[in-house]
Structure 1
Amino acid sequence: GSARTNACGSACGSAPACVQTMGLDGRCCCGYFVDGLESVACARCSRRQHGRCVGVHSSDAFFSEHTCPVCRCSTVDPFLVPHDGDDGACFAVGLTSRAVTRTHDPEISLQWFLSAEQHRLLLCASSHTSSSPPPLVLRAASLLCPPKGKKRQQRWPNATQLFLNRAPLPIVHYDPVWDGISYKDRHLDEPVELPMHLLRVGQNELKVVFSDAAPHAVAVQMMRRRTVDDIRRQVVGEGTLSYDEALRRVLQVAGSSDDDDLVASAKVLSLMCPLTRMRISTPIRSSRCSHLECFDLDAFLQCQSAARIAKWACPICAADALPEQLRRCSWTARVLEDGAFRGATEVQVEPDGSAAPHVAAAAAISSARKRTVDEVDDLGDDLDVKVQQVGGRADDPIELD
């Protein structure tokens, strides 16, 4: 009946004491309704959260770019995407810091209903005979809320223990390390795929026991696995810049100068991938990158697929490079396909956007080799002179006593 005040200090309607869920019913991740309170909307799904719960306030610079815990957990691993859309994939989400007490280990309980059809889909996916991972999984993920520096890495609260329907679950969690100044995260934690033999049709419960004052968002979601080819098709199909857009980017970078009093000069652009040291096949860079250099799409995706903890960062500037942020550069692709640049590893980009093979590096190497040969010849001539000065010849044998 009467309004209650939750742990974040907001007056909210009633909510279960031990269960924290956020669905489409207008609840925040703390389990209480958002009506009439200062709230922030997710830039992706438009769900609203209490600003205090997610650590975002209207005065923050990134207020309009806020991403809710559900969407953030969905992007922990780009090879796993929500099954049946964001809304149908999320079963439960909770906020750990709202359950902290001083009398016992804090814990939260996430409860959800698994239908017979959902259970059948998961069972069929887990029983496939292929050696590859199952194409459909029910997964629990956890992140800091709010993230430090907008990081999306998986992070379990310190000393986390998980129990699925009262059975303990193993997790991959590394405690922060002390560097002499502060504790630093290793960014090696992994989400947990909930095993089928512990799931049941009907009500399920995931209990999270932890010892960490920092707030974390924990979400249980049904995820569909994607392949490298799936992401490649997404990037090429949705992330390709038109030639005019790519040319404007080239003019913006190549035509700029650090000094306003100086005329912009030509820039050298490498056509070699920094990951493979081979010529680029499909040139891409992140929308967050400010440089003109590209890297190879296939090499980048293979590196992310092979890594235990994929970083999804630009290999040149370390900017975020999630699949939806990757852009294929049509200007660089045209240069790579142009017969005039066949075999070239570098091109010279003029301020007007035109390109020509860059030969300065090869000329410098040739000049350096010529100087080395000339120096050796001069050294040999000096040796002949010194030998003749002592009454011998350079080709006389040396006799040993």
Structure 2
Amino acid sequence: ILPQYLEPRSYTVQYIEKTFPLSRANREMLQKAEYDIQVWCILLDDKVPFRMHWPLHSDMQINGIPVRVVSRQATQPLGANGRDDGLMLTQFLKEGPNKIVLSRSDSRAFCLGVRIAKRRSLEEVLNLVPKEQDGEKFDDALSRVRRCVGGGTEADNADSDSDIEVVADSVSVNLRCPMTGSRIKVAGRFKPCVHMGCFDLEAFVELNQRSRKWQCPICLKNYSLENLIIDPYFNRITSLIKSCGDDISEIDVKPDGSWRAKGGAELKDLMQWHLPDGTLCMSTGTGPKPNMGVVK
């Protein structure tokens, strides 16, 4: 509704005043509990992407009514792990023209806007994540695992699982979610991440409701919801062991991507080596074949 560029200025108070319309159709839409009018603000060239960020000393009025902008102190800068909120304005608005006035004392450049926001349930957000076959090709996921387990160039490994990137017959990989400590049910990841570590998709989205951070819990890089996918390699593995006890949470992985579960005898075939796609490896023994004649 209202994108507005706030020019960089010296540390003097700057005022911006804008009017935006609210139609009858939009007003009727706002009667539904899941809709709201939100004013947002971002810092241009913010070192932390994909977050709201309000100027220092921000004060706002909506149709002449003072509204508190941020919960932090007016003089306190927003840290790297901080997140500001967008303000919900519906209760202050009327059908027709509405006036918003923002004052600030901050020399940086910002962009301010007003939008209609819809609250989404956990299930609705999870449905926005691409299906396993649509998010990433299995071969791409397998290539990442082979690089991380089998080793690679220093440039390739700059942001990957350096603690396991050694050439070895096999390495042990933990399938527990780094946030909950429970075994991963659906293996989630951010597509740009180069490490092979994953997290539990549903647990991550649920915790995000409070943290408001689309931040990888492994490499701590910030992304957006559009980057969230299901890891096709590890999700096949977690699907195969989902009926096992929660204490079964580690696998051995070879440099070619083949794997086996680690645990007791109750795992049966899962303790045998599997091809990357989850099929059981066939024995390659070349010993003498048994006599298949009829036993008399």
TM-score, scaled relative to structure 2: 0.75
**Structure 2 unaligned spans of 5+:** 156-164, 264-296
Query: Do the aligned partners of 1:247 and 1:353 also contact (CA within 8 Å) in 2?
Result: yes
Rounded to whole Å, the distance in 1 between the matches of 2:99 and 2:231 is 47
- Cross-structure match for 2:55: 157
Query: Do the aligned partners of 2:250 and 2:261 also contact (CA within 8 Å) in 1?
Result: yes
- Cross-structure match for 1:393: none
Matching of residues 378-393 of structure 1 within 5 Å = none
Rounded to whole Å, the distance in 1 between the matches of 2:37 and 2:115 is 6
2:149 is the alignment partner of 1:247: no
Select the residue among 187, 195, 217 that pairs with 1:315: 217
2:20 is the alignment partner of 1:112: yes
Query: Do the aligned partners of 2:50 and 2:223 also contact (CA within 8 Å) in 1?
Result: no
Matched letter for residue 315 of structure 1:
P
Listed one character per residue, the Cα deviations across residues 65-85 of structure 1 (whole Å, up to 9, x for unaligned) are: xxxxxxxxxxxxxxxxxxxxx
- CA shift, 1:101, in A, is 7.3
Matching of residues 27-42 of structure 1 within 5 Å = none
Select the residue among 289, 295, 301 that pairs with 2:205: 301
Compared with structure 1, are the counterparts of its residues 205 and 339 closer, same or farther at alpha carbon in structure 2 (3 Å cutoff)?
closer
Rounded to whole Å, the distance in 2 between the matches of 1:177 and 1:171 is 13
Matched letter for residue 139 of structure 1:
Q
- Cross-structure match for 2:85: 190
Q: Secondary structure at the match of 1:92?
A: coil
- CA shift, 1:188, in A, is 4.3
Would you say how many aligned residue pairs link Structure 1 and Structure 2? Answer: 249
Compared with structure 1, are the counterparts of its residues 293 and 177 closer, same or farther at alpha carbon in structure 2 (3 Å cutoff)?
farther
2:197 is the alignment partner of 1:287: no
- Cross-structure match for 1:96: 6
- CA shift, 1:94, in A, is 1.5
Q: Secondary structure at the match of 1:274?
A: coil
- Among the aligned pairs, what percent are the same residue? 24
Rounded to whole Å, the distance in 2 between the matches of 1:258 and 1:229 is 40
- Cross-structure match for 1:167: 65
- CA shift, 1:248, in A, is 2.6
Matching of residues 203-222 of structure 1 within 5 Å = 203-222=97-116
- Cross-structure match for 2:39: 140
Matching of residues 305-344 of structure 1 within 5 Å = 305=209, 307=210, 309-338=211-240, 342-343=244-245, 344=248
Q: Secondary structure at the match of 1:285?
A: strand
Question: Larger radius of gyration, structure 1 or 2?
Answer: 1
**Structure 1 unaligned spans of 5+:** 1-90, 126-133, 360-401
2:133 is the alignment partner of 1:230: no
- CA shift, 1:96, in A, is 2.3
